[in-house]
Structure 1
Amino acid sequence: MAIFNHTSFTHTVFRLLGIPGLEDQHKWISIPFFISYLISVLGNSLLIFIILTKRSLHEPMYLFLCMLSGTDVVLSTCIVPQVLAIFWFNAGELSLDRCISQVFFLSSTFVYESGILLVMAFDRYIAICYPLRYTTILTHALIGKIGVVIFLRSYGTVFPIIFLLRRLNFCKSNILPNTACKHIVLARVSCNDIRVNIWYGFFVLMSTLIVDIFLIFISYALILRAVFHIPSKEARHKALNTCGSHICVIFLFYAPAIFSVLTQRFGRHIPPHINVLLANVYILAPPMLNPIIYGIKTKQIRDQVIHMFFSKQK
C-alpha cells in the first residue's frame, strides 16, 4: 500500500484554507483585501487611461509607468478574487492544473514587475545623466523591445517550474494552508524529493530579483553622483524629486517580498498565519499604493486627474 501511495496516487484537487488559525476572522480580514483590490484596479486603470489618451504623457517615464500599472492589475487579480471567494464563500477548492497555472502566472508577473522597476531606474539614470539625449536614446521602438525582453525573461525563467511541479506525486495531503498556490507550498505536500524545486526557486530569486536590486542600486549610485555634481541647488532638488516616487515604489515592492520569502524558508518558529499575511502584503500594498504615490508626487499626472474630475464641474 505504501508503494502505491508513493508511486501511483496523486491528488488532483486541492483546498486552500485561507489564513490558517484565523478562519473565524475571514469575514473581517476580507474588508482590507477588498478595499485594496478596488483601489488597485480603479487607480491603475485610471493611470493607464490617462497615459494612453494624453499625447503629452507619451514619454518614456510615463510609458514605463503604464507598464507597471498594467502589471499591478494582473498581479493583484491573480490572487485577490480567489482570496475573497475563500473568505466569503469558503470556496477554496481548485484543480491541480489550475493550481500550477496560478503558481506560474503569479511568479512570472512578479518577476516581470521587478524587471519594470529596474528599467524605470535606468530611465531615471538616462533622464538625469543624459538629459539632452533622453528621448533619442529611449525611443518608442526601444521601449517596446525592452518590454518584450522583460516579458521573455520573466516567463522563460518561471516556465520550468511547471514541469518541476508536474513531475511530483501529491500523496501527502490536498490541504494547502495558504490563500494561494505557491511553488514551495505546493511542492511540500508531495511525496517526492523536492530539492530540485527548492534550488531552482532559489536560482529564479537570485537571477531575477537579486540581480535587479543590485542593478537598481548601481543606477541610483550613478544618479546620486551626477546629482551632487550639479551646481544649482534648485536643479539638484528637482532631479532628486523626480526619483522620489520610484524609490518609494521600489521599497514597497521589494521589502515585503524579500521578507516574506525569508520567513517562509527560514522562519520555522514564526506562526503560519503571520507568514501567510506577510505573503499577501506584497500582493496588496504595491498595486494599491503605486497609483496613489505617482498621482500625488507626479505633477503632470496630478494635473490630468484634477482636469478630468473637476474641469467639467466648472
Structure 2
Amino acid sequence: MQETLFCLRVGHRLPCSMSDSNTTNFTNPSTFILLGIPGLEAAHVWISIPFFAIYAAAILGNSTILFIVKREPRLHGPMYYFLCMLAVTDLVLSTSILPKTLSIFWFNSRETDFSSCLTQMYFIHCFSVLESGIFVAMALDRYVAICDPLRHSTILTNGVVAKIGLAVVLRGGMLALPFPFLARRWPYCTTNIIPQSYCEHIAVVKLACADIRISSYYGLFAIFSVIGLDVSFIAMSYTQILRAIFSLPTKDARLKTFGTCGSHLCVILVFYIPSLFSFLTHRFGHNVPLYFHVLMANMYLLVPPMLNPIIYGVRTKEIRGRLHQLFIHKGT
C-alpha cells in the first residue's frame, strides 16, 4: 500500500506523496503562511476591532503631532524634534504589521511571499531599535532640561540633535540588517507555516531545517545590547531627574514635574517589558500558550504607537495649547 502524507497549507490538508515529501527541500520558499493568532481563529473578527481602533488612534495621534510641530515655529526645539522622530517611527512600525494582520483577520489572506516577509522582518526590527534609541535621546533631553536648564539650548543645539538622530537611525539600520540576511541563508524543507501574524525573525528561522544557532545568538546579542544599554542609560537619566525633582522648592513644582516623568516612564515600560517577554518566550517559554505569546508580540508593537502621542503630545502644554487653538479656530 502506498503511504500518503498530508501537507498543511492555508488551513487545509492537501495530499502529497512520499516521493514529493522527499523532494521538498528548497533554499527559499516562494511564500510563507501567517496563521494570525493560533487557537483564536474563530475570534479573529472580534480581535480585529480593538486592533483596528488602536491602529487608527496611532495614525491619527502621530500624524497630528507631526502636523502641529511643523506648523508651530515655537516648537522647533530638541524635545519636539525627538518627538517627531518618535511619531514617524511609530507610524512606520504600526503600518509594517497592521495592514497584513487585518487582512488575515478580515479576508483570511494569509500568504506572504518570501521577499515581503524578509522586508517586513527588517522594518519591524529596525524601527523597534529606532524607538528604543529615541527613548534614550528623549531621556537625555529631559535630563539636561531638568538638571541643567540654563545650558539646555547650548548643549542640545540643532547640530547635536541631528547627530544624535543620525546615530539612532544608523544603529537601528545596522543592527537589523543581519536578521533578513541570516533568515535568507537557511534552507526551509519542512513547512512554510508561521504561527504568527507577522514575520518575526526567530519565528521564521525556527522553520529552517538547519542549525540556526547563529541566528539565535545574534538575536540574543541584539536584544540584550539594545535593551541592556538603553534601559541602563534611561534608568541613570531618570535617577538624576528624580533627584532634581525632589530638590525643587515647592510641592506643586515637584508634583507637576514628577507627573510628566512618571507618564514617560510608563510608556517606556509598556514598550520594553512586552518586547522582552515576547523575545524570551520564543526561546524559553515552552509552557506559555501560543495565543498569549502572539497577542503580547502584537501589543508591544501596537500599544506604544497609540500611547506615545497621548503621553508625549497631549500632556505637553505647548502641543495641547496649539491643538486647542486649532479646534477653536475651526469652531469659529
Q: Indicate whether 1:19 and 2:37 are aligned.
A: yes
Paired residues for 1:36-55 under 5 Å: 36-55=54-73
CA distance in 1, matches of 2:91, 2:125: 14
CA distance in 2, matches of 1:134, 1:53: 23
1:303 counterpart residue number = 321
Given the alignment, which residue of 271, 278, 288 partners 1:270? 288
Deviations 1:258-310 (A, max 9, x none): 22222222211111111111100111111112112234421211111111112
Shift of 1:100: 1.0
Secondary structure, in 3 states, of the residue corresponding to 2:37?
coil
CA distance in 1, matches of 2:66, 2:308: 12
Secondary structure, in 3 states, of the residue corresponding to 1:72?
helix
CA distance in 2, matches of 1:234, 1:176: 52
CA distance in 2, matches of 1:154, 1:172: 32
Deviations 1:14-39 (A, max 9, x none): 11011111112111111111111111
Deviations 1:226-246 (A, max 9, x none): 333333434433432442332
1:191 counterpart residue number = 209
Structure 1 portions without partners, runs of 5+: none
CA distance in 2, matches of 1:152, 1:103: 17
Deviations 1:136-177 (A, max 9, x none): 111111111111100000110111122211110111101111
Residue pair 2:28, 2:184 contacting (<8 A) in 1 also: no
Q: Indicate whether 1:153 and 2:159 are aligned.
A: no
Residue pair 1:16, 1:180 contacting (<8 A) in 2 also: yes
1:88 counterpart residue number = 106
1:118 counterpart residue number = 136
1:99 counterpart residue number = 117
TM-score by length of 2: 0.90
Residue pair 1:14, 1:175 contacting (<8 A) in 2 also: yes
CA distance in 2, matches of 1:27, 1:227: 47
CA distance in 1, matches of 2:316, 2:123: 30
TM-score by length of 1: 0.95
Secondary structure, in 3 states, of the residue corresponding to 2:224?
helix
CA distance in 2, matches of 1:28, 1:274: 16
Residue pair 2:281, 2:288 contacting (<8 A) in 1 also: yes
Secondary structure, in 3 states, of the residue corresponding to 2:319?
helix
Residue pair 1:9, 1:169 contacting (<8 A) in 2 also: yes
Given the alignment, which residue of 65, 79, 82 partners 1:61? 79
2:279 counterpart residue number = 261
Residue pair 1:44, 1:70 contacting (<8 A) in 2 also: yes
Structure 1 residues 172 and 186, CA gap change in structure 2 (3 angstroms): same
CA distance in 1, matches of 2:128, 2:44: 25
Structure 1 residues 129 and 12, CA gap change in structure 2 (3 angstroms): same
Secondary structure, in 3 states, of the residue corresponding to 1:121?
helix
Bigger Rg, structure 1 or 2: 2
Shift of 1:95: 1.2
1:78 counterpart residue number = 96
Q: After the TM superposition, which of the residue ranges 303-312 and 210-219 deviates more from structure 2?
A: 303-312
Matching residue's letter, 2:136: L
Residue pair 1:120, 1:246 contacting (<8 A) in 2 also: no
Structure 1 residues 236 and 86, CA gap change in structure 2 (3 angstroms): same
Structure 1 residues 182 and 105, CA gap change in structure 2 (3 angstroms): same
Residue pair 1:30, 1:87 contacting (<8 A) in 2 also: yes
After TM superposition, the runs of 4+ consecutive aligned structure 1 residues lying more than 6 A away are none
How large is the Cα RMSD of the aligned pairs? Answer: 1.7
Q: Indicate whether 1:168 and 2:168 are aligned.
A: no
1:244 counterpart residue number = 262
CA distance in 1, matches of 2:68, 2:158: 18
CA distance in 1, matches of 2:160, 2:144: 13
Structure 1 residues 188 and 280, CA gap change in structure 2 (3 angstroms): same
Given the alignment, which residue of 214, 222, 233 partners 1:215? 233
Structure 2 portions without partners, runs of 5+: 1-18
2:219 counterpart residue number = 201
Residue pair 2:27, 2:185 contacting (<8 A) in 1 also: no
Secondary structure, in 3 states, of the residue corresponding to 1:94?
strand
Given the alignment, which residue of 172, 175, 178 partners 2:196? 178
CA distance in 2, matches of 1:9, 1:131: 57
